[in-house]
Structure 1
Amino acid sequence: MTGVNQQHRKTPLAFYIGLVCSSALYSQVSNALEQQNNDKNTEQQIEVMTVTAQKRVQNLMDVPVAIDSVSAKDLEETNSVLLGDIADYTPGFKFSKDGVAQATATMRGVSSSNISTGGDPSVAIFYDDVYLPRAAQSVLFADMQRIEILKGPQGTLFGKNAAAGVVSMVPNAPEQSDEAFVKGTLGDYGLKRFEGMANTALSDEFAIRVNAMSNQRDSYLDNVYQDYRGEELGNANHQAARAAALWTPTQSTKVQLSYDYDDMDQGYSPAIGLSPYAYSMNPLDRTIENDVIDGHERRDMDAWTLKINHEFNSDWSGKLISSKRQWQVSGRDDADGTADKTRYLDTINFEDSDIFYNELQINYSHDKLNYVGGITYSKENVHQTTTLDITADTIARLTSDNLNQMLGGALMQAGVPAEALGQMGLPIDHIWKPADWASVLSILAMVDPSVAGLLQQLGAEPFSPELAAAISATGDLTYQLIGGGLGIAEIFGPSYAGKMWSEDIINNGVFNSYGIYSDVDYQYNDQWGFTAGLRYSRDEKDFSWDIRERSFGASLPSLTEFLFPLVTNLKASKDWSKLTGRAVVRFQPDADQLWFLSYSTGYKSGGYDSLDPTSAANPYAPEEVKNIELGYKAELWQSVRVQTSIYNMDLTNRQRSVSSKRPGDGVAVPLIINGDQDIRGMELIVDWQATSALKLGVVTEYRKTESSWEQFYNGDGDLVTDTEKDSSADAYTLTADWTPDWAFGDGQWKVHVDYVYEENTRADDPDMLAIAKQIPAYFADSKNLNARISWQSNSDHWEVAVFGKNLTDNEMTGGIGGFAAAVLGTPITSLNPPRTAGVEVKYQF
C-alpha cells in the first residue's frame, strides 16, 4: 500500500525453496545417466503433446510449423495467469507485463503500437477460436486447457491474417462428467488469488461448465506522495469468469454457447522517475513520488460466443463461430515520474469498443488428404478518447524555456558574451519566480521603451531588488501586460497555479474485415508430404479525429493549440487487400523425425494513427511479411524431444511506434512510422525425460535484426535521418521437473525449477541516452530463478504447493523514455518484480 515500508513484506521462504531445490536437484542430475542405465525395466518415454493448430487434433511433432504448446500443468508449475507470464518459456514470443489494457504482443521481434486504436496488432490472438482486438488481448488464464503459439505468418489457418504469428488460447469445454475444484493462493506483497471450477452433465445431451478467478496483489513499489488519491500504482486487481453450455442433439452435432466476463480495476504501471526532480535517481530504491491525479487502469469486458460443430460424415465436418465482444477501457498514468507541479504531465486513454466476429469453416480428412477452408467476417466499432493533461505551472515552465531561447539567442546575436548572460539572470528557471521574471522584464526594458515605462510605474529600476518585490505585490498584472504586448498567450500569472490544461483527441472508427482461406495437406508417401494454402484478405476502415481543448477558462481564450492543432470532425476512409499464402514440404525419414521447409507470406492492413490527424491523408502502409523457414522435430530414444528451426523474415512497411516531437508540437507523443526489416533467427526446444523421475528442458533463441526506418522527428524535436540499425539478442530458459519417491506424506511430491536468462543488448543502442550510464541495473541481463514444490494426495483430492519467483532477486530496469522526457527533462523507466513467494492449496472434488 502507498507509503508503507516494504521490508516487512519480504519473506525467507524463497531462500528455503532455492536451497532445497538446488541441493536435491544437483544430486538427482548427477545420477541421471547412471540410474537410466541401471534401471533397465523402467521406460522413460516422454509424454505426447497434442495440438489443433491445423484445425485437427495432431501430435505436436507431426505439425510442420514452429509451434509451442503450453499445457494447463505448465501454467500451474510456472504460476502463470497472463500471457506476459508464459513469454519466458516460449522462444520468439514476448508479451508486455506493464499495463494490461495496452499490452503488446511481440513475435520474433515484431510488435505493434499499443496505444493507437486505428491499427491492428502484428500478432493475432485468439480465445476459444475468436479473434481478440488490441485492448482485449490480455485475459486471465481461468480454467485453460492449453495455449498454442505459432511463429510466422498463419493466415491460411486462422480467421484473421497474422503478419508475425498467432497465439491461440484454448479454454476447457464442458464435458459429460461431474468434476470441480477450488484453489487458493497466498503470497507476499499481498498476493491473494482464488479460483474455482465446476462441470456437470445435466443429461446425456446437456453439460455445463463454469469457472471464476480473482487475482489481487499489492504494488512492488512505494509511492510516498502524501496527497495521492488514485488506485495504488502497480497493484493488481483482476477478475474473470466464464460459463459454457454444451448441447449434443446428435452424435454428429455439438452446440456450445459461452459467456465470459473480465473485470479489471487497478493502478496503472508506475512511472519511476530518473530526473533530479524525482524521488530518486536510483530505481532500485523501489520508491517513487508520483502525483498523477486518479492514476488507474480499468477494463470492463464481456462476450457471448456461439460455436456449432457438425460432422457430415467420416470425412467432412464443419464449424460455425459467431461472437460479440464489447469492452470499456480507461487508463490514466503519470508521464513525468515526479511530484513537481511545474513538470506535471499525465495521459488518459478511454476506449469503448466492440467487435462482431464470424467464421464458417469446412474440414475434410481422408487417407492422405486433409483440407481446411473458411470464410470470415468481422466488424469492429471503436471509440477512443486520448487526453493529455498538463498544469498551468508546466505551461509556465515551458514558456520560461522558450523565453530563455528567444532572449538568449537575441542577446548573443547582438554580441553579448555568454558570461554576461549569467549576470543578467539567464537562463531563468520559472517565470512565476519573481526574481526570474524580474530578469526577463529588465532585459526587455533594454530594448522596449514600453517595458521600461512599466518598470518606472512600478517604482523599480532594471535588475534592482525592488523589482522582484514589486512583481510579487502586483500579482498577475505584469504578466498580463507583457503577454498581451508581445502577443504570447502562454505568458500568464501565478494565480492560475494548479489549474489543468487538457486537450482531447477523440477518434471513432468502423473496421470491416473479410477473409477467405484454404489450406490443403497431402501425404505423398510414408516419407514425403506437401502443404499449400492461400488467403485473400480485405480490410475497410473509416476513421475520424476531433481535437478539442479544455483550457483554464474564458479568461484565457487566446491560449489555444498548445499541444495539438485543433481539428473538427476530420474523416478518412480507405481499404486494403492482399493475397497471401504458404507452401511447406516435409520429409519424415522415420516415424520419429520430421524435417520441413516452408515459405509463407503475411499481411497486416494499413491504418490510421489516432494521435496524428495528418495520417488521414497519409495512412501508414500495410505491413507485409515474407518468411522462409527450415525446421526439424524429433523424438529420440523415446525420451528426448527436439524442436528447432532457423528462419529469415523479411518485413516491408513494418509499423513502429516512436516518441516524436514535430515542429509546432508542445510535447513529444507516440507516432507510427514505417520501415523495412530483415530478421534472421534460430529457435530450439529440447525436452529430456532423463529418468522416470526427472525431466529436463532447455528453450533458447538467437535473433539478428537489420532495420531501415523512414526519417522522423525524435522526442527532442531533432530530425532523425540516420535510421539504419542492427541489433541482436539471445535468450534461454532451463527447466527441471523432479518427482522424488519421498516416503513421508500420503501422496506424490514434485519439484519444478526453471532459470530464465535474456541478454541485455542496450549497450549497442545507437540512440542510447547519456543518462542511461547513470542508472543502476539498466545494462543488467535478465536472470530469473523460479521454483515450486508441490504435494498431491494419492486420492488426487488435495494438492499443496509452495513457490518462489526471482529467487536471486535479480534487478533490471525497463527502457528509458516517456512523453515528458525531452521537453520537461523527466525521463521515466520501470523495474522488474523482486523476489516473491507464496503457497497454493487446491481441492479437487
Structure 2
Amino acid sequence: MSTTAKSKSAAPTKSKHPLFQTISHQTTSHPLTFKAQPLALCITLLLAGYNNPLLAQDKTETAAKDQAIETITVTAQKRVQNVMDVPVAIDSISATDLKETSSVLLGDIADYTPGFKFSKDAVVQASATMRGISSSNISTGGDPSVAIFFDDFYLPRAAQSVMFSDMQRIEILKGPQGTLFGKNAAAGVVNMIPNAPSQEDEAFLKATVSNYALRRYEAMANTALSDEFALRLNLMSNQRDSFLNNVYPDYQGEELGNTDHQAARLAALWQPSSATKVQLSYDWDDVNQGYAPSIGVSPFAYSTNPLDRTIENDVIDGHERRDMSALSLKITHDFNDDWSGKLISSKRQWEVSGRDDSDGTADKTRYLDTINFEDSDIFYNELQINYQKERFSYVGGVTYSTENVYQKTSLNIMADTVARLTTANLNGMLIGALQGAGLPDEMIAQMGLPADHLWNPQDWASILSVMAMVDPSVGDLLQMLGAAPFSPELVGAIAATGDLTYQAIGAGLGINEIFGPSNAGKLWAEDIINSGKFTSYGVYSDVDYQFNDQWGFTAGLRYSRDDKDFSWEIKERSFGAAMPGLTDFLFPVMPRLDAGHSWSKLTGRAVTRYHLDEDSMLYLSYSTGYKSGGYDSLDPRSAFTPFAPEEVGNLELGYKADLWGKVRLQLVGFQMDLTNRQRSVNSKEPGAGVAVPVVINGDQDINGVEMILDYQATDTLKLGLVTEYRSTESKWQQFYNAEGNLVTDVEKSSTADSYTASADWTPAQQWLAGDIKLHMDYVYEENTRADDPDLLEVAKTIPAYFADSKSLNARVSWTSADQQWELALWGKNLTDSETTGGIGGWAADVLGTPITSLNPPRTYGAEVRYQF
C-alpha cells in the first residue's frame, strides 16, 4: 500500500504527547550471521540513486512543483513522526486506501501489502503472517508471532479479526518490534488506529451492495457536547451469501461460508484542561455466520475439482460465532512543554464457538467435525512517559496484562465412522496374519479382504469367515447361525440377526469398537478441555538523539516476562460413556493435568541514520524479538516439554527519500534469523485415530528486499508499487505428517516474490458537477507450496493448488462538489483468478478425505455515501 508523505527536516520537531494514537517498533534477539547478497544489492541500488546527478537538482525548483506528495505522520515509535523519518519498514494504510480497496478486515488489506498476510477463512481462528513467519495453531496455550493492536490495546488470537469501522489509518511494521511493543511482536506489528472523538460536528451514512447478496451498512456521528466533552459513535453491519453451493439436502445450520458480522463503538472524550485528555470507549463485536466451508477433494466428495465451487457437507450445525466487547480508558497529560505521559487500561472479553466439517463429504461413514469453544478475557495496561527537547527524545514505560482462557475442543464422529475405522484395523490384523502364513495377495482378495465396512453384511461375512479359519470360537458362532464360512447363508444370517454377531465377536475378542449397525447415526464425541492464566510484564526504554543535521541514533531495551499456568482434561462423552473403553479410540480419558512455566527475555534495538539531505535518509538497524514458549492445547505431553520460546534477530538496511517532489521511495534489505520458530502442522502419530494440529520447532534464515514506490506522475495521476522478494532456508524437527509418515526431509529452501501495482487517476474536468476518481490495482503473489515439508500427495493432482495468486481490482467514484455525496462502482478479482487454500485436514489420511478452500471469485458492487 502506498505511503505518500513529504519529508520533514532531519532534526526532530518538538510535539506534545499524541492523543489516542498507536505504536510500532522493531526488535530481534539472536546473534546473526552476516550474509552479504541482499544487503549488497540494497547498497548498490541506494548508492546508484545517491550518485545520480538528477538528485542534485535545485531544491527550489522541486519545491515549486505542485505535484508534491502529501505528508503522512505515524506513531510507529510511540512518537508522532513523518513516516519518512522513521527508521523502520512501515506500510501505512490510510482511510482513503481502505475505501478505495473496499477493505473492512485485515484479510482484505493483506492483499495490498506484500510481506503481510492474514487468513480470510475464519474470523475466530484467524492468524497473521509477516515476512513468511506465521502464528502456530489454534492452541490457547500459544501466542501469535505478529502482535496486533487496536487503539493502543493488544488483541489476543481469537480477538484479532475486527472490522474497520471509522478508521484513521493502519500501520504495518515488518520485522521484530519487541522494544516498544514487546508482547509477541517477534515478526512484526499491526497497529489499527480508529478516529477519536473531536470538537467538530460531523456524520455520515454509507451503504454497499454487490453480487452474492452483499449488504454492508455503516454510520458515524460525532458531536461536541461542550468545550470539554465530545462523543463519537460508529456502527457497521456486514452480510454476504456464500461463494459456494452446498447441495446436501438435509443440512441444518448457518450457510457455510456466508458472512454476518456486526460491530459498534462509542467513544467519549473529556478535556478538563488543555493539558489533559481522558477517553472512555466501549467496543462491541458480534459474529454469527457459517464456518468457512471445507471443500472435499477426495473420491467421496461431491467433486474432486474444488473449482466447481459445489460441496456436499453434512456437518451438524455448522457455525462460527463470537460475542466480544471491550471497555477501555486512556488518559494523556502534558506535564510541561517537554514531559508528557499516557495511561491506558482495557478489559476485553469474548466467547467464541466454531463447528466445521472436517471431511468435506456427505458420507456418514466418514463423518468428522470439530467444535472449538473459547471463553476468554484480557486485562491490558500500559503506563508511558515521553520526553522531547530539541534533538533528544525518550519513550519509556511499563506494561502489565493478565489473560484468562478456557477452551474446549471437541472431535465428533459418527458411530458409522468408528465402524469404518475399526474395519480398517481388522483388515490390517487379518491380512497381516494371512500374509504371514504365506498366502498370496490374490487369494486374500478372493476371501473378500480388505473389507470396506463391517456393517455391510457381505464385508462382515468375509471378516468372520477369515476369523473362523484361525479361531474355533468364531467357527462355533457360525455353526450357531447355521451357516458355513464364505457361504451366501452367512450373509443372510448376519442381516437377519442385527447386532448379535457384532456383540458376540466384540465381547469375545475384547474389542469395544466392534458394535452393531443399530448405533448408526449416533455421535461419538471426545472433549479436550483447557484452561489457563497468563500474566505478562514488560519494562522498556527507548532514546533517540539527533547529533546534527545528518546523523541520528536510536537505541532501546525491553525486559519481558511471561508466566503461564495451563491445564488439560479429557472426558468421556456421548454413547462412549455407556460403552467403556470406546473413548480411548481418539484420545485417552485423562484427569486434569496442570503445568506452569515462566519465560523471560531482554530484547532491544540499535539504529543509526544518516540524512543525505533534507529529503532522503539511510538507516542501519539491528533489533531482536521474542515470543514466549507455551503449551499445545491438543497435546498433554507438552505439560512436560513445553515448546521453546521463539527468538528473532533482524539486521536491516533502509533508504527513504522524496525525490524531485514527485517520487517517494522506501527500500529495505533485511536478514532475519529465527531460532525455535513455532510452527503448526497436522500430525498423525502411530496409533492415533486422526491427525491433529501440533506445534513443532525449527530454525530459519530469511533474507529479503522490500520496496514501496509512489510516483505523482501528473497533477491527476498517481502510480504506486509495493514489492517484496524473500528467500528462506529452514530446518525443522522431525514429525509425523497428516498421512502418518515420518517426515525426515526437514531442510528446505524457498523463494517468494510478490507485488502490488496501483494507479489513481483524478481528471481535472468535472462531470455532473462533481469529481471523478478511478483507482486500479493489480496484486500478485508467487506460490511456494511445492516447498512445504508436509505436502500431501493429493495436492499434486490439483493444479490450482500451485497457481500464483493474481487479482485485478478497480473502483470508480463520483463525489459532489460540496463533498456531501459519493457514489462508486467497484470490482475485485475482475479476471476471476482461482487459487485454493491449503490441502489437508484432520481426517485426510485415516478417512481418505482431504479438504481445501478457495479464494473469493469475481465480485462487483456499488456504494453510496452521504456526509452530513
The residue that corresponds to 2:832 in the other structure is 809
Take 1:632 and 1:638, find their aligned partners in 2: how far apart are those partners?
17
- Tell me, yes or no, if structure 1 residue 120 matches structure 2 residue 123: no
Q: Deviations over 1:442-481 (max 9, x none)?
A: 0011111111111111111110111110000000110111
Alignment-mate amino acid for residue 155 of structure 1: G
Question: Do the aligned residues in 2 keep the contact of 1:404 with 1:428 (CA within 8 Å)?
Answer: yes
* Number of residue pairs matched by the alignment: 807
State the Cα distance separating 1:237 from its structure 2 match: 0.3
The residue that corresponds to 1:226 in the other structure is 249
The residue that corresponds to 1:831 in the other structure is 854
State the Cα distance separating 1:113 from its structure 2 match: 2.0
Take 2:441 and 2:636, find their aligned partners in 1: how far apart are those partners?
41
Take 1:711 and 1:767, find their aligned partners in 2: how far apart are those partners?
11
Question: Do the aligned residues in 2 keep the contact of 1:155 with 1:517 (CA within 8 Å)?
Answer: no
Question: Do the aligned residues in 1 keep the contact of 2:664 with 2:709 (CA within 8 Å)?
Answer: yes
The residue that corresponds to 2:625 in the other structure is 602
The residue that corresponds to 1:841 in the other structure is 864
Alignment-mate amino acid for residue 613 of structure 1: P
Of 97, 114, 117 in structure 1, the residue corresponding to residue 120 of structure 2 is: 97
The residue that corresponds to 2:530 in the other structure is 507
Question: Do the aligned residues in 1 keep the contact of 2:840 with 2:851 (CA within 8 Å)?
Answer: yes
State the Cα distance separating 1:161 from its structure 2 match: 4.6
Distance 1:721 1:114, change over 3 A: closer
Q: Deviations over 1:349-406 (max 9, x none)?
A: 0000000000000001111101100000000000000000011000000011111111
The residue that corresponds to 2:697 in the other structure is 674
Question: Do the aligned residues in 1 keep the contact of 2:151 with 2:194 (CA within 8 Å)?
Answer: yes
State the Cα distance separating 1:241 from its structure 2 match: 0.3
Question: Do the aligned residues in 1 keep the contact of 2:748 with 2:787 (CA within 8 Å)?
Answer: no
Name the SS for the 2:402 alignment partner: strand
Take 1:186 and 1:738, find their aligned partners in 2: how far apart are those partners?
24
Name the SS for the 1:195 alignment partner: strand
The residue that corresponds to 1:56 in the other structure is 79
Of 447, 452, 457 in structure 2, the residue corresponding to residue 424 of structure 1 is: 447
**Superposed, which structure 2 residues align to 1:290-369 within 5 Å?**
290-369=313-392
**Superposed, which structure 2 residues align to 1:49-448 within 5 Å?**
49-158=72-181, 160-448=183-471
The residue that corresponds to 2:667 in the other structure is 644
Name the SS for the 1:584 alignment partner: strand
Name the SS for the 2:476 alignment partner: helix
Question: Do the aligned residues in 2 keep the contact of 1:517 with 1:534 (CA within 8 Å)?
Answer: yes
Q: Deviations over 1:241-272 (max 9, x none)?
A: 00000000010000000001000000000000
Distance 1:688 1:375, change over 3 A: same
Distance 1:262 1:342, change over 3 A: same
Of 745, 758, 764 in structure 2, the residue corresponding to residue 741 of structure 1 is: 764
Question: Do the aligned residues in 2 keep the contact of 1:91 with 1:684 (CA within 8 Å)?
Answer: no
The residue that corresponds to 2:9 in the other structure is none
What stretches of structure 1 of length at least 5 have no aligned partner?
Answer: 1-38
Question: Do the aligned residues in 2 keep the contact of 1:103 with 1:114 (CA within 8 Å)?
Answer: no
- The normalised TM-score by structure 1 is 0.94
Take 1:352 and 1:554, find their aligned partners in 2: how far apart are those partners?
26
The residue that corresponds to 2:718 in the other structure is 695
State the Cα distance separating 1:554 from its structure 2 match: 5.4
Of 811, 817, 824 in structure 2, the residue corresponding to residue 794 of structure 1 is: 817
The residue that corresponds to 1:560 in the other structure is 583
Distance 1:554 1:237, change over 3 A: closer
State the Cα distance separating 1:691 from its structure 2 match: 0.3
State the Cα distance separating 1:567 from its structure 2 match: 1.5
State the Cα distance separating 1:42 from its structure 2 match: 5.9
Q: Deviations over 1:754-813 (max 9, x none)?
A: 000111223344543332232242222111000000000010100000000000111111
What stretches of structure 2 of length at least 5 have no aligned partner?
Answer: 1-61
Take 2:435 and 2:687, find their aligned partners in 1: how far apart are those partners?
24
The residue that corresponds to 1:11 in the other structure is none
Take 2:519 and 2:113, find their aligned partners in 1: how far apart are those partners?
53
Name the SS for the 2:800 alignment partner: coil
Distance 1:317 1:433, change over 3 A: same
Of 573, 576, 593 in structure 1, the residue corresponding to residue 616 of structure 2 is: 593
Take 1:568 and 1:557, find their aligned partners in 2: how far apart are those partners?
16
The residue that corresponds to 1:659 in the other structure is 682
Of 807, 829, 841 in structure 2, the residue corresponding to residue 784 of structure 1 is: 807
Take 1:600 and 1:205, find their aligned partners in 2: how far apart are those partners?
42
Take 2:135 and 2:789, find their aligned partners in 1: how far apart are those partners?
21
Take 2:643 and 2:786, find their aligned partners in 1: how far apart are those partners?
31
Q: Deviations over 1:496-525 (max 9, x none)?
A: 000001110100100000000000001011
Name the SS for the 2:548 alignment partner: coil
State the Cα distance separating 1:159 from its structure 2 match: 5.4
Distance 1:88 1:600, change over 3 A: same
State the Cα distance separating 1:92 from its structure 2 match: 1.2
- Tell me, yes or no, if structure 1 residue 457 matches structure 2 residue 480: yes
Take 2:264 and 2:485, find their aligned partners in 1: how far apart are those partners?
70
Take 1:91 and 1:349, find their aligned partners in 2: how far apart are those partners?
31
Of 774, 777, 800 in structure 2, the residue corresponding to residue 751 of structure 1 is: 774
The residue that corresponds to 1:10 in the other structure is none
Of 707, 712, 725 in structure 1, the residue corresponding to residue 730 of structure 2 is: 707
Alignment-mate amino acid for residue 342 of structure 1: T
Alignment-mate amino acid for residue 769 of structure 1: L
Q: Deviations over 1:697-742 (max 9, x none)?
A: 0111011111111111211222222211111111111100000134
Root-mean-square deviation (CA, aligned residues, Å) is: 1.2
- The normalised TM-score by structure 2 is 0.92
- Tell me, yes or no, if structure 1 residue 472 matches structure 2 residue 490: no
Name the SS for the 2:492 alignment partner: helix
Alignment-mate amino acid for residue 194 of structure 1: Y
**Farther-moved stretch of structure 1 (718-727 vs 391-400):** 718-727
Q: Deviations over 1:181-229 (max 9, x none)?
A: 0000011101000000000111111111000000000000000000000
The residue that corresponds to 2:640 in the other structure is 617
Take 1:603 and 1:766, find their aligned partners in 2: how far apart are those partners?
25
The residue that corresponds to 1:532 in the other structure is 555
The residue that corresponds to 2:649 in the other structure is 626
Take 2:733 and 2:796, find their aligned partners in 1: how far apart are those partners?
28
**Farther-moved stretch of structure 1 (780-789 vs 555-564):** 555-564
Q: Deviations over 1:111-165 (max 9, x none)?
A: 1124100011110000000000010000000000000011111122225351111
The residue that corresponds to 2:791 in the other structure is 768
Question: Do the aligned residues in 1 keep the contact of 2:215 with 2:239 (CA within 8 Å)?
Answer: yes
Q: Deviations over 1:645-704 (max 9, x none)?
A: 111111111111111112332111000111111111111110000000000001110111
Name the SS for the 1:620 alignment partner: coil
Question: Do the aligned residues in 1 keep the contact of 2:526 with 2:583 (CA within 8 Å)?
Answer: no
State the Cα distance separating 1:41 from its structure 2 match: 8.4
Take 1:520 and 1:744, find their aligned partners in 2: how far apart are those partners?
52
**Farther-moved stretch of structure 1 (711-720 vs 453-462):** 711-720
Take 2:537 and 2:673, find their aligned partners in 1: how far apart are those partners?
25
Take 2:512 and 2:74, find their aligned partners in 1: how far apart are those partners?
64
Q: Deviations over 1:40-66 (max 9, x none)?
A: 986211111110111121110000000
Question: Do the aligned residues in 2 keep the contact of 1:114 with 1:134 (CA within 8 Å)?
Answer: no
State the Cα distance separating 1:551 from its structure 2 match: 3.5
Distance 1:554 1:628, change over 3 A: closer
